[in-house]
C-alpha cells in the first residue's frame, strides 16, 4: 500500500533536482540533451560520430550511464573531450541526483553542450527528468518499427527521433515509413532524422539540427 506514495516522493525529489539543473544550464546557456534508446540501438556510436565531427575548440562534455563497466566512456574519451561514466548501481535509468553528482567538480562556465547517454532502456529513463532541454530517442532499423506504439511515453516526450542503422534496411523487415507513421501517431510534433553511423548517411542533417539548437541556446535572451 506504500508503493505509490513512495514512487511519487522519489519522482518529486527528482523533479526538484532536475529543476535546479535546468536553471543552472539555462543560466550558463548550456544545451543539455538526454539520449534514450533500447540496448544496442547505437547511442554510443552516434555520440562517437558527433564528437569526431565537432571542432577541437567546442566546449562539449559527455555523461554516459550504464549499469556496469566504463566501456562507453573509454570509447568516447578518445575524441579529446571531457567524458565521465555514471554507474547506475543496478538501476535501469539515470536520475537527476546522479547527474548533479557527476557535474559537481566540473566548471559549467567551460561547457556549452552537455550530452547525456542514458542507460539502455525504453521504459524507466522516460520518467526521470535530468534537467535536459530535450530528450532524443534513438531507434535502430534492427528493432521493430512498432516500437513507438509499444513504448508511447518515450516517443511522446522526445523532441527528436533518430532512426539509426538505415544501412541495414535492405536486410531487415523494418519499415521506415511505418516507423515514422507510428512515431507521428504518438507525437505529431516529433522531428525525425534517418542516419547510419556506419556509412555516415544522414549525419550532416543531425549535425545541422544540433548546431541549430546550440545557436538558439547561446543566443542572447530577448528583452522587452
Burial of 77 (0-12, 13-18, 19+ CB in 10 A): middle
Q: How far apart are CA 64 and CA 43, in angstroms?
A: 10
Q: How far apart are CA 44 and CA 73, in angstroms?
A: 9
Q: How far apart are CA 179 and CA 161, in angstroms?
A: 10
For residue 9, what pLDDT is reported? 65
566546449: which residue's cell?
59
Phi, psi (5° rounding) for residue 141? -70, -10
Give me the domains of the chain, ranges plus CATH numbers: 8-216 (3.40.50.300)
Segment-wise mean pLDDT, segments of 10 residues, the chain, 224 residues: 56 94 97 97 97 95 88 93 89 93 94 96 94 98 97 98 98 98 98 98 98 91 44
For residue 14, what pLDDT is reported? 95
Q: Is the distance from CB of 130 to CB of 152 less than 8 angstroms?
A: no
pTM: 0.92
For residue 2, what pLDDT is reported? 47
For residue 5, what pLDDT is reported? 60
Q: First vs last Cα of the chain: how many Å apart? A: 51
Q: How far apart are CA 79 and CA 76, in angstroms?
A: 6
For residue 222, what pLDDT is reported? 44
523494418: which residue's cell?
174
Amino acid at each position: 500500500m506504500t508503493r505509490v506514495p513512495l514512487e511519487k516522493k522519489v519522482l518529486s525529489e527528482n523533479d526538484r533536482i532536475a529543476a535546479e539543473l535546468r536553471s543552472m544550464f539555462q543560466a550558463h546557456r548550456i544545451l543539455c540533451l538526454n539520449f534514450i534508446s533500447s540496448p544496442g540501438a547505437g547511442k554510443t556510436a552516434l555520440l562517437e560520430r558527433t564528437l569526431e565531427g565537432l571542432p577541437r575548440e567546442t566546449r562539449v562534455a559527455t555523461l554516459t550511464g550504464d549499469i556496469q563497466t566504463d566501456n562507453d566512456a573509454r570509447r568516447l574519451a578518445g575524441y579529446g573531450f571531457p567524458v565521465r561514466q555514471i554507474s547506475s548501481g543496478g538501476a535501469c535509468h539515470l536520475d537527476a541526483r546522479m547527474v548533479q553528482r557527476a557535474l559537481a567538480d566540473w566548471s559549467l562556465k567551460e561547457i556549452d553542450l552537455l550530452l547525456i547517454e542514458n542507460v539502455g532502456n525504453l521504459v524507466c529513463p522516460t520518467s526521470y527528468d535530468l534537467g535536459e532541454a530535450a530528450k532524443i530517442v534513438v531507434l535502430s532499423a534492427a528493432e521493430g518499427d512498432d516500437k513507438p506504439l509499444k513504448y508511447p511515453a518515450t516517443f511522446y516526450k522526445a523532441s527528436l527521433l533518430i532512426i539509426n542503422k538505415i544501412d541495414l534496411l535492405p536486410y531487415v523487415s523494418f519499415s521506415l515509413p511505418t516507423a515514422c507513421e507510428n512515431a507521428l501517431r504518438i507525437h505529431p510534433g516529433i522531428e525525425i532524422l534517418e542516419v547510419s553511423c556506419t556509412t555516415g548517411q544522414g549525419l550532416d542533417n543531425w549535425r545541422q539540427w544540433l548546431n541549430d539548437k546550440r545557436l538558439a541556446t547561446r543566443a542572447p535572451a530577448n528583452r522587452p
